[in-house]
Amino acid sequence: MNTEMVKPRIAVHKFSSCDGCQLAFLNAGPALLELAELTDIVYFAEAGSLEREVEIDIAFVEGSISTPQDLTRIKAIRENSAYLITIGACATTGGLQGLRNLYASNTRDWTGAIYARPEFIETLDESQPVSSHVKVDLELWGCPVSTQQIMTALRALLFGVTPGDDRDKICMECKRRHNVCVLITKAAPCMGPVTRTGCGAICPAYGRDCYACYGPAENINAEALATCFEGLGLLPQDIARRFHFINCNAPNFKQAGTIWRNKS
């Protein structure tokens, strides 16, 4: 590559999240050094703040928008960033903490139930995906995202091409890995048939059912899978929980889970 080229400036931001997705950078090993050569890392929440308010080329955003401060900050970041990528379930769908959107009729009720002094809690009513508030250029799904997803997207951007978006079902990857299907042999309620690939079908490779941490794949039939789970002996509330989990606010998971929650 042309070494004369100006290095793109990148930033990694954190919102409401567990910091796990940022580890995809920190665990990258030698690739992280490579990245530091190829780009100018101007801000990285987990690794200690560098500069924060400057113009950048590629912003990675981890975490959901769940406080008024989050809201102000994500708008500022968007204004300063040429290309914005959400990393992980929280930033992309609102995350596990988005369960509160489904189960709390009133935010005050549950802050009151949990905290001794709820008046100090300042929060939005919902935990929302970044895309609810600003334009997102690329979504990287997963809980957490993998180093490979991030590096593949970055490499494509460095080449000046649009990063690919693999939305196939986990089952495709599962069969390529020669896993024996746990749904067929053990009646395990595997979410693979509705879940987006990207993890490499890790859970079925260890004999357990996928729990959809990568969110919905393209063209899913959630109702048919839910009916299949019912046939495997799951109760309606258990079926609802398969969908109302890490990516509970992805619209088609939300809808499928709600249908079965209402049956219970």
Positions touching ligand SF4 (CB under 6 A) are: 170-171, 174-175, 179, 181-183, 190, 192-193, 201, 204, 210
Task: With H, G, I as helix, E, B as strand and everything else as coil, classify residue 75.
Answer: helix
Measured between alpha carbons, how far is 54 from 32 in angstroms, rounded to an integer?
22
Binding-site partner at residue 136 among other proteins, ligand SF4, none, CB < 5 to 8 Å by type:
none
Nearest Cα residue to 223 out of 256, 183, 248, 191: 256
For the bound state, the minimum distance from the C-beta of residue 30 to other proteins, rounded and expressed in Å, comes to 9
Q: Residue 31 — φ and ψ, nearest 5°?
A: -60, -30
Q: Are 30 and 151 in contact (CB under 8 A)?
A: no
Q: Where are the alpha helices (DSSP H) in the chain?
A: 23-26, 30-38, 68-80, 88-93, 99-103, 107-114, 147-159, 170-176, 182-186, 202-205, 222-231, 236-243, 251-263
Neighbours of 175 (CB within 10 A): 13
Told to check if 167 binds other proteins by CB under 8 A, we report yes
Binding-site partner at residue 210 among other proteins, ligand SF4, none, CB < 5 to 8 Å by type:
ligand SF4
Told to check if 75 binds other proteins by CB under 8 A, we report no
Select from 70-78, 89-97, 163-171, 250-258 the region that touches other proteins (CB under 8 A).
163-171
Tokens of 82: 């040429």
Told to check if 190 binds other proteins by CB under 8 A, we report yes
Q: How many residues of this chain bind other proteins (CB under 8 A)?
A: 42
Of the candidate residues 36, 47, 82, 180, the single one contacting other proteins (CB under 8 A): 180
Where along the sequence are the contacts to other proteins (CB under 8 A)?
A: 1, 31, 34-35, 38, 151-152, 154-155, 158-159, 164, 167-169, 171-172, 175-181, 183-187, 190, 192-194, 207, 218-221, 224-225, 227-228
